[in-house]
Amino acid sequence: MSEGPPFCELKEAERMEALGIVSEAQELSQSLADRRSTMIDSNPPFFAAYGSLFRSRPAAGNHEAEAVEECDLPIVDLSRLSDELQAEQCKREIVTAASAWGFFQIVNHGIPNGVLDRLRAEQVRAFRQPFKKKADEKFLGFLGDSYRWGAPTATSLKQLSWLEAYHIPLSSATHPATTSTCRCVIEELSSAMSRLADRLMGILAEGLGSDGSYIKDNCKRNTCYLRLNRYPPCPVAGEVFGLVPHTDSDFLTVLCQDDVIGLQLKKGGRWIAVRPNPGTLIINVGDLFQAWSNGLYKSVEHRVMSNPRLERFSVAYFVCPSKETMIESSARPAIYRKFSFGEYRQQVQQDVTLLGYKVGLTRFLASCRRNKHTNAHLKKLQILDLGHCKKLRKLPAQIHKLVNLKILRLAYCTQLERLVNLLVLEIEGCPRLQSLHDSFSDMENLTELKMMRCDSLTGMPRGVGKLSDLQKVAGWAAVDGHGSATFQYLQTLINLEELRLQNLKSMSDPEDDPTAKLHETVDDDVEMAFLLLQILEGLRPNPTLEKLEISCATTTLSL
């Protein structure tokens, strides 16, 4: 009996059905029937390339459905800059918006609508081409790998972006191989964008007491980038972002979007949706300006939501300096250390490759020992993720001063310190961690404890029974001869809801285990059953437990 064609040979609609996305596939097929021959063929093969991510996705979406409030960004009329009576007020509004929001809209910006319309027409025409043609580097003639889609380093759906884009270095936009029509309109638009950006950066620099000449001298048009974005209709819009949450690694971004809502930014810890406003351009502060302004101007995290039925287009102009340009604030004390743009880009790319996400300016904080301002800022820290610090073996004793720290993620750390207000503790991939600090039992507010792939941590830590607020526990490598007594500590955890134990081994001492010889002849299933009885005996009674997962070398059991 034939097994049918391999997954990679199926068409996108068939792949969706094979991945269990049946209703969405039918809905997409119906709503796009009149455009199937062009749009489906032009869309990147997301399901073929990321099939493993979809197959392993949980039943619920990756980003929770949340009620997001719509808002209008602060709007500034740049025509007032020509009026002596209104110019200063207009400048103050720009500085205030960059400080309070990091995002604002501008009207009467000087970019001719005709130029924007012509570029949009070229943009639509380019993206309507078959995918294979777009993927050909010679299609539009831009230098390098300008055509991009998805997220090559994604290891989960929450790291995947449902978009395709041309990321164009303006140093190559006038290359002879570039198609003449496209080259002309990009050159015209980039010139206008460059003049607008210079004007805005001058105003923002003036707000810091600088003339802005350093930024203007180092941010020439040929060091900037133009990005043409298309967000195809996404049949799994509840699970995949159009563009994952991020900040921009530049000084300033000028964005022209269409009338399809999708852009969201984070303000006050909440995501808010930006309503499209015809005739306006959106300006947002980038990481470099936040560092250069010593945190006065905010590089705000933003994202684009995918849409199940509508495609969305946007054009972004990124104001970037040369790689050699040094970024340093003249304010003292400085929050960020001095760094070059090239160093920053390299670190961002390294983090995305290794971690799947951008860490950003956090990597470039000035030394805490010399910076009292940073110390005060860190005291407010609630989440500390050190999972990428592979050389960190011991936390500094001063970490107990982070009195507001709620969530701590570590890797390769062999010693912990006292953190009484911690709610979540995660340690992954630390094979040398043999025991937790004696003050572990003082973490009385702990609700989640995860010790994954810590193979030397073979027994429940002393005092775990005192942590009555614990709801989720995961980790520990072995029963290690203690039998059910190892798990009797958990009987006092009256709020325990989830317990995951990994790499369980049989009793290590034959004298303690009368069935040791029997274990030599029975299969893994019998051994697992024996261990399970020990664990259940140790857990009894535990009325709140909802999930129990136990794994050994060859078997996983979930209850």
| Catalytic residue set | 312
**Residue 37 CA to chain centroid, in angstroms?**
34
What are the C-alpha distances in Å from 395 to residues 416, 419, 495?
6, 11, 29
How many Cβ atoms sit within 10 Å of the Cβ of residue 537?
Answer: 13
Residue ranges in 7-68 assigned as alpha helix (H): 12-18, 22-31, 36-42, 46-49, 51-55
- Cα radius of gyration rounded to whole Å, the chain: 28
DSSP assignment of 97-149, as one string? HHHHTSEEEEES-S--HHHHHHHHHHHHHHHTS-HHHHHSTTTT--SSS-EEE
H or E segment to which residue 548 belongs: strand 547-551
C-alpha to C-alpha distance for 452 and 459, rounded to whole angstroms:
13
Long-range pairs, 469-473, Cβ under 8 A, ≥24: 469/444, 469/445, 469/495, 470/446, 470/495, 470/496, 471/447, 471/495, 471/496, 471/497, 471/498, 472/447, 472/448, 472/496, 472/497, 472/498, 472/499, 473/448, 473/449, 473/498, 473/499, 473/500
Q: Which residues fall within 8 angstroms of residue 161, CB to CB, at 6 or more apart?
A: 150, 151, 240, 241, 242, 243, 244, 304
Q: Are 74 and 102 in contact (CB under 8 A)?
A: no
What are the C-alpha distances in Å from 52 to residues 45, 49, 236, 256?
13, 8, 15, 34
SS3 of 151-187: the string is CCCCCCHHHCECCEEEEEECCCCCCCCCCHHHHHHHH
